[in-house]
Amino acid sequence: MPAKIPSTVRSDANELTVRNLEQSDLEPLFERLANELPKLDTLVLHGMRGKRFSELPRNVGKLVRLRKLALRDSRLKTLPPEIGNLERLIALRVEFSAIETLPAELVACQALQLLEIRKGALASFPAVIPALRGLRSLDIYEHRIDRLPEEIGRLENLEWLQLGLNRIRELPAAITALRRLRALALDGNKLTRLPSDLGVLRKLRSLTLNGNKIAELPESIGALAELHTLWLCGNAMRDLPLATLGRLRKLRSIMLDEERFPQDTVKAVDAIAANNTKVHGPAIWESEPLKLAF
pLDDT tens digits, 141-178: 999 999 999 999 999 999 999 999 999 999 999 999 99
As to burial, measured by CB atoms within 10 angstroms (0-12 exposed, 13-18 middle, 19+ buried), residue 259 is exposed
Residue 206's closest CA among 188, 175, 178, 185? 185
pTM: 0.92
What is the chain's pLDDT, residue by residue, as a tens digit (294 residues)?
444 565 556 667 789 998 888 888 899 999 999 998 988 999 999 886 566 788 899 999 999 999 999 999 988 999 999 999 999 999 999 999 999 999 999 999 999 999 999 999 999 999 999 999 999 999 999 999 999 999 999 999 999 999 999 999 999 999 999 999 999 999 999 999 999 999 999 999 999 999 999 999 999 999 999 999 999 999 999 999 999 999 999 999 999 998 889 999 999 999 998 888 665 544 444 444 455 555
For 170-218, the pLDDT digits (tens) are: 999 999 999 999 999 999 999 999 999 999 999 999 999 999 999 999 9
Q: Are 168 and 145 spatial neighbours (Cβ–Cβ below 8 Å)? A: yes
Which domains occur in the chain, in start order?
1-112 (3.80.10.10), 159-294 (3.80.10.10)
CA distances from 213 to 139, 167, 178, 216 (A): 22, 12, 23, 9
CA distances from 33 to 170, 194, 232, 244 (A): 44, 48, 47, 56
